[in-house]
Amino acid sequence: MSISFIPQLLDFILPLNESRPILMTYPGYYFVDEERYFVYIFSHSIVSWEIAMTALIAHDCMFMTYVEHVCSLFAVVGFRFENLMCSSSEKEKLVNADLDVIYKKKIAVIVHTHRKAVKYVKLLESTFTIPFAIQILIVVITMSVTLLQIAQHNDDSNILELIRYVLYVIGELIHLFVLSFEGQKIIDHGIEIRNKIYNSSWYKVSKKSQELLILVMMRTLQLSFLTAGKMYIFSLESFMAVLQASMSYCTVLANFQ
């Protein structure tokens, strides 16, 4: 648990006749004299938080990179479906039979790319579902407890402690919102493919090619999404549900006081 270095700095800038107390960011128990071993405790807290934050940022950045890659695959598939009939080749306009074969090959390539994107989403979901389940559980518990501390804070003289709790809640909300927003992007890009097919010139292709397009549209009805522990779906709707759950748990904890 980290310790604030501000009192030691103020002793040099604005010295008082009495020593300032050491402010704990969060209560920590080291079973030693905190003032005597302040430098060691402070160094330990700084290194620990730096390692934890670096690991968390690296994990989330890697996850966001994968999500953006999946969204780009869905965007490419949608663009190709929407511009399926666009061609600058004059040879394709000569024989309708050959033209239909070309369209079938194009659709087959696009369907293969779409299957790769869906398979990639499933791989991401199976890889990150357990770590994100642990994160969601920690966020709900800590946010509920922190909100309870904010609600029960009635010491007007200790405004820094209240600000610390508020900033902690804001940080958790931003982190959860970013993850939920990335999950919502995957859902939206997957649904958008159906709209791209509908907006294309599907009526110009043969009946067999239209059947292939229908199969793709039916597949897009099965949403591609990411979950945490197979329970929490990363979306903006689920983000609001977590906020409501945290507020509910905070109310329950307050009633036990």
pLDDT, residue 28, reads 64
The number of beta carbons lying within 10 Å of the beta carbon of residue 250 is 19
CA distance 113 to 73: 7
Residue 192 in this model has a pLDDT that exceeds 80: yes
The amino acid at residue 10 is: L
Q: What is the pLDDT of residues 131-173, one digit of tens each?
A: 888 888 888 788 777 777 777 776 665 677 777 788 888 888 8
- Tokens standing for residue 38: 């302040």
CA distance 154 to 152: 6
Higher pLDDT pick, 216 / 15: 216
Residue 210 in this model has a pLDDT that exceeds 60: yes
CB 179 within 8 A of CB 234: yes
Nearest 10 degrees: CA dihedral of 116, 122, 127, 131? 140
CA distance 56 to 166: 20
Q: What is the pLDDT of residues 56-101, one digit of tens each?
A: 888 888 889 999 999 999 998 888 888 876 654 444 454 455 666 7
Residue 233, beta-bridge partner list: 227
CA distance 246 to 142: 9
Higher pLDDT pick, 25 / 112: 112
Residues 19-22: contacts with CB under 8 Å, at least 24 apart: none
pLDDT, residue 8, reads 53
